[in-house]
Amino acid sequence: MKQEPLDITALLLDYARAVPPRDVHDVMRLCVLDWAACGMAGHQEGGFGAWAATFTSPGPATRFDGHIGAVADAALVNGTLSHALDYDDTHFAHIGHPSVAVIPAALAVAQMRAVGLADMVDAALVGAEASVAMGLWLGRGHYQIGFHQTATAGAFGATVAAARLLALDPDQTRHALGLCATMASGLKSQFGTMGKPLNAGLAARTGVEAAMWARSGMTSSQDGLAGPLGFGETHHGAGANVPFAWRMGVVSHKFHACCHGLHATLEAVRDVPLRDARQVVVHTHPRWMSVCNQPAPDTGLGAKFSYAHVLAMAAYGYDTGDIAAFSDARAQDADLVAWRGRVHVIADKGLTEMQARVVVDGVAQSHDLDAPLSFEVRQARIHAKARALVGARADEIWQAIDADDLQRFAQLLTS
């Protein structure tokens, strides 16, 4: 029996009005803390200060750079800054960074609407879930051909989050998603440059603008996603059938300050002395070969997408969880550059995207990022990471999240 195609717009509408389960809401609160710490650190070290300062329109929304400005501008700036260090969360169901596209949109609109922080978290959660579902509907071919899921699927998630906070009715939300379909964009060719974090900011801004414009009465195609010449057809979408489910409970958080595709490799050799190794062969899923296999990066940003370089850092004892370790000077360090030549990377279809097998002088080590991580362990690691990024401010941010205090939370992002 032929299966009917999925009405992806209807699925995203279901997320927009869904009531999240408590356990997934609690994971999303941790995502908000992680996002805040990454954004504050990104403002300090990401190199986007002069760019952010070009957005001067007044408004109610807080930005990491201390400016209180227009809602769409804040979503753009905060989305970009929170992805500037590439240290934010990843969902491997569709290979995207949900929080950096969705939380900035939710925060900006929540401030405009003066709602509680718990409502913002729920909006961000349903938006993140929608982005993952959208990414699954588009399929891996969409990503593999060159589109950046954080930017494309993320824009639809940001639209769902903003639509929920703006209390759009189903018809308005459908139009918002249609408007998003003609705006969403982002390419993997930007990986390793400042254009990659910009993709996240553009997704957040698109979501805010699409939802606000729909609220003002702007209309769009009734099916800008799956309809003829819609987003799926024109963006190499597979149109997969995706059931409604809560998937953010298994989102992956980064504990190394580099592309998530490198983490299983680094975990595999965490206790292995590498300095004197003659040959290191990395077996990884083919998906990562075009993402994080830069053999000779010469910038700190490029180094975050290089198996050879992060393994050289590990060999020389540099902490790959320290954002400061990924500097231009270290990417050009003569010892590290020479050591990188010992690394060979092989695409292995027998591995999942979460797995790595590393053979050091003939001895194999493996790691699977899908190994279960309890909520308690996740919480402890995220709190420790946040403290490492922003110091004692991390605990104050968590207290604001715990107290459902949106105003205090926003204040702490800039102080």
Confidence of residue 1 (pLDDT cuts 50, 70, 90): very low
Domain co-membership, 107 together with 238 = yes
The 10s digit of each residue's pLDDT in 145-177 is 999 999 999 999 999 999 999 999 999 999 999
SS (H, E, C) 348-390: CCCCCCCEEEEEECCEEEEEECCCCCCHHHHHHHHHHHHHHHH
Domain co-membership, 364 together with 384 = no
Residue 339 lies in a domain: yes
The boundaries of the domain holding residue 357 are 260-368
Domain co-membership, 96 together with 161 = yes
CA–CA distance, 179 with 100 (Å, rounded to integer): 20
The answer to whether 358 touches 283, Cβ cutoff 8 Å, is: yes
The 10s digit of each residue's pLDDT in 75-106 is 999 999 999 988 999 998 998 999 999 999 99
Q: Count CA atoms closer than 13 A to 161's CA, side-chain side.
A: 40
Identify the CATH number of the domain in which residue 302 sits: 3.30.1330.120
Residue 322 lies in a domain: yes
Domain co-membership, 229 together with 205 = yes
Domain co-membership, 299 together with 215 = no
Query: Which of 291, 339, 290 lies closest to 314 in space, CA to CA?
Result: 339
Residue 235 lies in a domain: yes
Structure tokens at 106: 């939710």
Domain co-membership, 20 together with 96 = yes
Residue 383 lies in a domain: yes
pLDDT of amino acid 5: 66
Identify the CATH number of the domain in which residue 72 sits: 1.10.4100.10
CA–CA distance, 285 with 356 (Å, rounded to integer): 8
Domain co-membership, 316 together with 363 = yes
CA–CA distance, 39 with 43 (Å, rounded to integer): 6
| 36 against 415, higher pLDDT | 36
Query: Which residues, other chains included, contact 77 with Cβ-Cβ below 8 Å and sequence gap of 6+?
Result: 48, 52, 55, 63, 64, 65, 67, 69, 104, 201
The 10s digit of each residue's pLDDT in 314-337 is 999 998 988 889 999 999 999 999
Q: Count CA atoms closer than 13 A to 21's CA, side-chain side.
A: 8
